[in-house]
Structure 1
Amino acid sequence: MTNGQKLTTIKLGRAAAVAAIAALALTSCAANESGSGTSTDSASSSGATGTLVGIGASSQGSAQESWIAGFQTANPDATINYDPQGSGAGRESFISGAAAFAGSDSALSDDELAGTFGSCAPDTTAIDLPVYISPIAVIFNIEGVDELNLDSETLANIFNGSITSWDDEAIAALNPDATLPSTSITAVHRSDDSGTTKNFADYLNSTAPDAWGEEPSDTFPFSGGEGAQGTSGVVDAVTNGTGTIGYADASRAGDLGVAKIKVGDEFVGYTAEAAAAVVEGSPLVEGREDNDIAIKLDRQTTDPSHYPLVLVSYAIACQEYADADQGALAKAYLGYIASDEGQKVSAESAGSAPLSADLSAKVLAAIETIS
């Protein structure tokens, strides 16, 4: 069983609870010393009870583990289960009512919003809540190559199958100081429906539309390359292959090589700060309900302090739950993960970029309306 298929269920005993509280306290202290703001006591003040099931994005996996630990430590009568099956599976499970909330690297579509949701009260709808911001890393494993520069057109042609060898002249032109082997390229993509794929495709379609030529979707659009299940599957395939390249949430890049992408006239590596800068400068999607916070990312920025290959991962919840107890627990848990404390925990455990003050205020205000 891969990490992407693993059910994250954390139940803490008394000793583990004490250790987790200490760890969270240290996390908050370290974050405060860095000047990122003061933490809240939202986890400890909710008094939440019951069991809440979430299914969705594997990009959120590490963050969810930490959020669950923090929330359950402070609320020992609550159990949160999160199964990182992928964004598409998460939205499907939420729509059917198999999950009380979904994690998704893309917001609900207009068609999905026009439908019904199994856990929601009749004649009510769902809302998208951005809770996790992270760069997408272009990871690679090429013998003898430690650094790699790629522009969006070349990256698109690698993944659409037009460029098949690492010593291709387009790659060589971007890496004049590298010794590129004649090794065949194995481009690894997600085999499951994935919001990470949709964000990757949205970046390439926005910045290299002639080379990519496909509308962004959760399904990888080309038949070539190698498919792998979940974030962990892509990372494993790139790690264990030869001449491999893939895309994954940056928190999972590990020791693999990570390509720099061209932004304006410079090649830029990912940072949480550069990812947050793109989100901060991007508008909300128009035409949504007041509490539905979907972001239209600015992929075409030429500011080298921005990293446009970024994903915003959402918690998708009911505006009003059919079961009031589920609504109260969802409101408490989502309020914790969007809080200053929850965002610091995610930054520490998963390297994510905390929500900006303005975006955090919008998200927390929306969560307050959940019932």
Structure 2
Amino acid sequence: MERGTLVKALRFGRSAALLSVAALALTACSSADNGGNGGASSTAEGGATSDVQGNLVGAGASSQEAAMTAWTQGVSSVAPNLTVQYSPDGSGAGREKFLQGATFFAGSDAAMDEEEAEQAKQVCGDQGAFHVPAYISPIAVAYNLPGVEENIKMDAETIARVFTGEITTWNDEAITSQNEGVELPDTPITVVHRSDDSGTTENFTAYLTEAAGDAWSYDEVETWPADITAESAQGTTGVVGLVSSNEGAITYADASAVDGLGTVDVKVGEEYVAYSSEAAAAAVEKSEANEDGSIELDRATTEAGVYPVVLVSYHIYCNQYQNQETVDQVKAFAEYVISEDGQSTAEGAAGNAPISAATRDAAMERIEAISVQG
């Protein structure tokens, strides 16, 4: 084949692939014409199933990727003829696609802001969109300190002073005073942070902003402050790997990824709380929910048993869709995600914290109220 002909063929191949993806999204967006019956749930022999069928398209947070894979596969247990396609493009990209009408739902580590909420009304109708806290994960403050068997205890101010570089050794008085009876070495502390824009960074710095007072002056940021001298690595795997290979290093990371490292018990009120699924879920349950379903996390809480260093990632849905078939598809998937089975399936795949019964009930009310635009 001549070179010019080959280039044309490659260009045609790329264009065809892009058109195929666009056609898939348009097919989903025109679900009333895709041959699905859009019927309501029915009960089949052997258990409750749904006759909903078709393809539901979403995009968003990469933090949810492992959980989303579990959900998109697991939903077939309740809706055998429904397929769900999710592209882990990042929270911002997911919200943008949703607000453009290119997808039916978004995954996002951050709630929509006021401007986005208004924009959602152009796609969803006057009732706009709402949030479901679908994925909850504790963020561990993880370190590599051989010989120290106990979890090291720190309050928010001390954590902030460590991560800004003000506290430079593990036997600093600010740390030893909170760890009576624990022999801490004079090993230098190496701070490791995410080099990429990160929802984990945003949620970690949100905790420091609310709970650490004047010890943290950088506010809530998605990108780590450039004037803090520290080591960096790409992604969760990168920071955990760097800490694992450097004695004295410390980082923040999704708790499911820090096996083999020590972790900090965080001071909450008068006690120190280790991260756990239950303690992370409690942080959401005991925080205030907004009318749109998003959560105002109280990261400075003094409630017993709450672990406040937590990431909450949402699914964002319209309150109304253009046809009944889409409504049925969205409801089937959304209800499965927050069900006990859906949350347990995701926990096994991603190590996230299942939502509480109270959070589930509140989300279910919003999902059941999804309707067709009138």
Which residue in the other structure is 2:279 paired with?
Answer: 274
Structural mapping, 1:129-144, within 5 Å: 129-144=132-147
Which residue in the other structure is 2:158 paired with?
Answer: 154
Following TM superposition, by how much is the alpha carbon of 1:193 offset from its aligned partner in structure 2, in angstroms? 3.8
> Residue 254 of structure 1 aligns to a residue in which SS?
coil
Q: How far apart, CA to CA, are the structure 1 residues paired with 2:172 and 2:97?
A: 43
Contact kept, 8 Å, 1:106 with 1:199, in 2: the verdict is no
> Residue 49 of structure 1 aligns to a residue in which SS?
strand
Contact kept, 8 Å, 1:87 with 1:193, in 2: the verdict is no
Structural mapping, 1:248-259, within 5 Å: 248-259=253-264
Percent identity of equivalent pairs: 41
Instruction: Determine if the alignment matches structure 1 residue 128 to structure 2 residue 156.
Output: no
Distance 1:370 1:235, change over 3 A: farther
Q: How far apart, CA to CA, are the structure 2 residues paired with 1:126 and 1:151?
A: 37
Which residue in the other structure is 1:208 paired with?
Answer: 212
Following TM superposition, by how much is the alpha carbon of 1:155 offset from its aligned partner in structure 2, in angstroms? 0.8
Provide structure 2 residue ranges, at least 5 long, that are not aligned to the other structure. Answer: 1-46
Following TM superposition, by how much is the alpha carbon of 1:133 offset from its aligned partner in structure 2, in angstroms? 2.5
Moved more, 251-260 or 231-240: 231-240
Following TM superposition, by how much is the alpha carbon of 1:336 offset from its aligned partner in structure 2, in angstroms? 0.9
Q: How far apart, CA to CA, are the structure 2 residues paired with 1:166 and 1:103?
A: 38
Following TM superposition, by how much is the alpha carbon of 1:322 offset from its aligned partner in structure 2, in angstroms? 5.6
Contact kept, 8 Å, 1:57 with 1:105, in 2: the verdict is no
Report the TM-score, using the length of structure 1 for normalisation.
Answer: 0.76
Following TM superposition, by how much is the alpha carbon of 1:284 offset from its aligned partner in structure 2, in angstroms? 1.7
- Determine which of 266, 269, 274 is the counterpart of 1:264: 269
Q: How far apart, CA to CA, are the structure 2 residues paired with 1:98 and 1:169?
A: 55
Distance 1:223 1:112, change over 3 A: farther
> Residue 296 of structure 2 aligns to a residue in which SS?
coil
Which residue in the other structure is 2:201 paired with?
Answer: 197
Q: How far apart, CA to CA, are the structure 1 residues paired with 2:280 and 2:124?
A: 36
Instruction: Determine if the alignment matches structure 1 residue 102 to structure 2 residue 109.
Output: no
Q: How far apart, CA to CA, are the structure 2 residues paired with 1:117 and 1:158?
A: 44
Which residue in the other structure is 1:8 paired with?
Answer: none
Instruction: Determine if the alignment matches structure 1 residue 47 to structure 2 residue 48.
Output: no
- Determine which of 168, 174, 189 is the counterpart of 2:172: 168
Moved more, 245-254 or 314-323: 314-323
Contact kept, 8 Å, 2:53 with 2:83, in 1: the verdict is no
Q: How far apart, CA to CA, are the structure 1 residues paired with 2:51 and 2:163?
A: 46
Q: How far apart, CA to CA, are the structure 2 residues paired with 1:250 and 1:54?
A: 24
- Post-superposition CA distance 1:56-108 (Å, at most 9, x none): 141x3332222122113554443323344443443344334554322222221
Moved more, 69-78 or 264-273: 69-78
Report the TM-score, using the length of structure 2 for normalisation.
Answer: 0.75
Structural mapping, 1:282-297, within 5 Å: 282-285=287-290, 288=291, 292-297=292-297
Distance 1:56 1:46, change over 3 A: farther
Name the count of aligned residue pairs.
322
Distance 1:129 1:208, change over 3 A: same
- Post-superposition CA distance 1:27-66 (Å, at most 9, x none): xxxxxxxxxxxxxx77x325332142322141x3332222
Which residue in the other structure is 1:345 paired with?
Answer: 345
Larger radius of gyration: 2
Distance 1:256 1:184, change over 3 A: closer
* Aligned residue identity for 1:358: A
Provide structure 1 residue ranges, at least 5 long, that are not aligned to the other structure. Answer: 1-40
